[in-house]
Chain A
Amino acid sequence: GESVGLHLPTLSVQEGDNSIINCAYSNSASDYFIWYKQESGKGPQFIIDIRSNMDKRQGQRVTVLLNKTVKHLSLQIAATQPGDSAVYFCAETPMNTGFQKLVFGTGTRLLVSP
């Protein structure tokens, strides 16, 4: 039968807007979380990380928020630019892998219009 690919949710924003990309992770005992950005034809690129003992971390134009109560991770991008258009992945290290595997989510496509 025909293969069905992963459906990538898409977030479309205007240049200059703030973007929020959400991720629900699977394991409440996960220790470490990373956001990666992947542009077309390239490998994933590290954006920002956060450990489970924190609930917020800020970088340059990006902020990651971790809500362990509802197992939710979000990436906020301030003043979004066309160069931010890419697929964004959250990744976690679940306890059931001995914190030894980085498990990636399915990704969200961000489209930024000028």
Chain B
Amino acid sequence: DAGVIQSPRHEVTEMGQEVTLRCKPISGHDYLFWYRQTMMRGLELLIYFNNNVPIDDSGMPEDRFSAKMPNASFSTLKIQPSEPRDSAVYFCASSLRGLNTEAFFGQGTRLTVV
């Protein structure tokens, strides 16, 4: 397996634009997580899914953020409208049995909102 695949690797957008980040988890993994990494706050869990169903979205910063998982092999994290403070590296991770087991991270998407 190629591991967790995220796209794009880098995204630069203007404030107010919609941004969509994409993730393909490892095949067979039941759990998918979205994290955000910044210098100020480190690694933060935004939301996670189990069997395509959102379980805990309490880490999503505000209503401008939304995440979907339409099937077992694809998830999106959308920011609309984007703001400069959303600039960060966004990671997707997947695991077989949830948070108390090893999670495999993608390479991340570096988002810059100008």
Residues of A within 8 A of B (CB): 3-6, 31-32, 34, 41-46, 49, 89, 93, 99-107
Contacts and interface: CB of A to CB of B under 8 A. Distances in A.
Given A43-B107, A44-B105, A99 B91 contact: no
B97 to A, nearest CB: 11
Interface residues of B, number: 24
Contact of A101 (B56, B93, B104): B56
A36 B50 CA distance: 22
Given A93-B100, A101-B56, 17 more contacts: A4-B40, A31-B100, A32-B100, A34-B102, A43-B4, A43-B93, A43-B108, A44-B43, A44-B91, A46-B103, A49-B102, A93-B99, A100-B56, A100-B99, A101-B99, A102-B103, A105-B42
Give the top 4 A-B pairs by smallest Cβ distance, nearest first.
A43-B105, A5-B39, A104-B43, A46-B102
Q: How would you classify the secondary structure of chain A's contact residues: helix, strand, loop or mixed?
A: loop
A106 B39 CA distance: 9
Nearest to A106: B42
B60 interface: no
